[in-house]
Amino acid sequence: MRRAPWVLAGTVAGLVGLLSFRSSPQKVTLSTLPATTASSASGTATTASAPGAAAGPAAPTTSASAGGVRSATGPSVNYFYGVLSVKVTTSGNHISKITIASLQDGAYAYSHYVDSVSLPMLIKQAMAAQSANIQGVSGASYTSAGFAQSLHGALSALKVS
C-alpha cells in the first residue's frame, strides 16, 4: 500500500511528459547518392551516381553516339516511397554504365536512407547480371521492384536482353 502513491505519481508524470512532447518533421535535402564502382563481366570499372531529384521522362528515351555507345532512360516508376528512373549506357550488347536518372523520395529521412543504401547495391547487381534479372535488396522490396522495372524499360528501349 505504501508504493501505490509513488506508482501513481510516476505514471502521471510519464503520461504528462509523453503527451507534452512535440515533434516536427525533419528537413532533409536530397543529395546525390554516393558514387559506387561496379565491376562488369569484362573487368572494366564503371561509376554509377545519381544527379539528384530531377523529374524523369514518362517513357523510355534513347540516344546514340559514335562508336556504338547507346544510352536509354527508363520510365519513371512510382515505387510507393517515391519515383525513380534509371539510365543505362551500353556498348553493343554489353551494359557499361547504370545511373539513377531521377529520384524523388520526398523529404522523409527513412526513404532517403533506404535509397542511399539500396540503390548502389542494385546497380552492382544489375552490372554483374548484365540484365534486369536482379535479386533485389532485403528490406528495400519496393525500391528494388521500381529499380528493376525502370531498368527493364531502359534495356527494352535499347533492345538488350
Question: 103-154: per-residue pLDDT in tens?
Answer: 998 778 888 889 999 999 999 999 999 998 999 999 999 999 999 999 999 9
Domain count, the chain: 1
pTM over 0.75: no
Question: Domain for residue 149, yes or no?
Answer: yes
Question: Domain for residue 96, yes or no?
Answer: yes
Question: Domain for residue 140, yes or no?
Answer: yes
Asked if residue 23 has pLDDT above 90, the reply is no
For the stretch 72-89, pLDDT in tens is 999 999 988 889 999 999
Question: Domain for residue 77, yes or no?
Answer: yes
Q: Please state which of the ranges 12-16, 19-23, 28-32, 119-123 shows the lowest mean pLDDT.
A: 28-32
Residue 51 lies in domain: 29-158
Supply the Cα-derived Rg of the chain in whole angstroms: 22
Count Cβ atoms within 10 A of the Cβ of residue 87 and give its class: 0-12 exposed, 13-18 middle, 19 or more buried: buried
